[in-house]
Amino acid sequence: MLAVGGRPLPPSPFAGATGLLSRVGNTPLVRIERAVADLIPPGVEIWGKAEWFNPGGSVKDRAALSMVLDAERRGVLKPGMRLLDSSSGNTGISYALIAAARGYGVTLCLPSNANSERKRVLHAYGVDVVMTDPLEGSDGAIREARKLAASHPEYVYLDQYSNDANWGAHYASTGPEIWEQTEGRVTHFVAALGTSGTFVGTSRFLRDYAPHVQRFSMQPDSPFHGLEGLKHMASALVPKIYDPTLAHENIEAPTEESYEMERRLAKLDGLLVGPSAAAAVWASVQVARRLDRGVVVTILCDSGTRYLSETHIWKGA
């Protein structure tokens, strides 16, 4: 990878990964063209990291693998032990894949309204899924995981919302990849807030290595939203790893406009992405509209194939 200002880039957080897990990271950076051509100035480019190219199908492979490897290095996690965490789905699938490859069991607390695709994948991997109150969303799953951690000290509770190895994965992989793939041309970075690990880690890298890059966080515009996996921070349990001071600005994304962008990306650019990825592109457009020139990079965190049971992805097709 390229050095930044003569400084060596941080070492890979995935050292020690073998087999399929060695393929985590180094996802393609693709330019979004026809879907945004009539929405942004001609001198501005929007690019997205296609994170469904990770083995587990989402950006969460990075954080999950980093957290597992970190626990192994610290001697907390050993073969035959059981991982515990909460998830809205994607991190759980990443845990399931990694645990199967490295010899662990998985207990996952999951809101019962998670879509059928996620539930089926988790069951296929043999995950012990504990369903939680759908009205409490990811916060309810977090509370249940904490209870299980207290009553089962033999479980290894990775707690993705508080685990520094979550954002550390992006500091040492996503950030450097963006710098390398844009050949240092990136001027603006946009990422959605769930656990906040992607935004926090990548933004800390950019702050430390390329402070001229403007950093934008994105979250839903309401507590009652349809952007699965994202948190409306003002009304949710705020992740311990979240650092709001990293953002030059926070953008609030509306659900329906994000759904429209989801369909637009599929029809005009062949990019079938999930709703949070579409919301990130919507937010990137809001940033791009203010510019005369620039390179805006965002995270396309997963594929739309995990949402085909939901009408928003094909409505009006």
* Sequential pLDDT tens for the chain (317 residues): 456 767 888 999 999 999 999 999 999 999 999 999 999 999 999 999 999 999 999 999 999 999 999 999 999 999 999 999 999 889 999 999 999 999 999 999 999 988 889 999 999 999 999 999 998 888 999 999 999 999 999 999 999 999 999 999 999 999 999 999 999 999 999 999 999 999 999 999 999 999 999 999 999 999 999 998 899 999 999 999 999 999 999 999 999 999 999 999 999 999 999 999 999 999 999 999 999 999 999 999 999 999 988 877 766 55
Domain end: 157, 183, 212, which one? 157
The answer on 91 and 81 residing in a single domain is yes
Note whether residue 125 is domain-resident.
Answer: yes
| Residue 58 near residue 90 (C-beta atoms within 8 A) | yes
Residue partners of 184: CB distance under 8 A and separation at least 6? 2, 4, 210
Q: Are residues 277 and 187 in the same domain?
A: yes
First to last CA, the chain: 41
Torsion sign, CA atoms 293, 279, 174, 238: positive
Please check whether residues 247 and 304 belong to one and the same domain. Answer: yes
Q: Are residues 300 and 193 located together in one domain of the fold?
A: yes
| The total number of structural domains that make up the chain | 2
Q: Does residue 112 belong to any structural domain of this protein?
A: yes
Phi, psi angles (nearest 5°) of residue 82: -120, 130
**Domain shared by 225 and 237, yes or no:** yes
pLDDT at 310: 84
Are residues 83 and 139 part of one domain? yes
Please report whether residue 2 resides in a domain.
no
* Same-domain check for residues 51 and 76: no
Q: Give the residue numbers spanning the domain of 143.
A: 60-157
Q: What is the DSSP string of 165-207?
A: HHHHHIIIIIHHHHHHHTTT---EEEEE-SSSHHHHHHHHHHH
Q: Which of 128, 157, 186 is the last residue of a domain?
A: 157
Per-residue pLDDT at 317? 52
* Residue that terminates a domain, selected from 157, 180, 213: 157
Residue 214: inside a domain, yes or no? yes
CATH code of the domain containing 42: 3.40.50.1100
Same domain, yes or no, for 183 and 128?
no
Please report the beta strands in 235-275, taking only residues with DSSP state E, as ranges in sequence order.
249-253
Residue 219 lies in a domain: yes
CB atoms within 10 A of CB 154: 7
* pLDDT at residue number 2: 54
Write out the two tokens for 79.
């073969």
Active-site amino acid positions? 60, 276
Residues 274 and 294 in one domain: yes
Q: What pLDDT sits at residue 8? A: 86
String of DSSP letters for 33-89 = -TTTTTTS-TTEEEEEEEGGGSTTSBTHHHHHHHHHHHHHHTTS--TT-EEEEE-SS
How confident is the model at residue 137, as a pLDDT?
Answer: 87
State the Cα–Cα distance between residues 256 and 263, nearest whole angstrom. Answer: 11
Asked if residue 247 and residue 140 are part of one domain, the reply reads no
305, 190: one domain: yes
135 domain-assigned: yes
Does 54 fall in a domain? Answer: yes
135 and 214 inside one domain: no
Q: Does residue 126 lie in a domain region?
A: yes
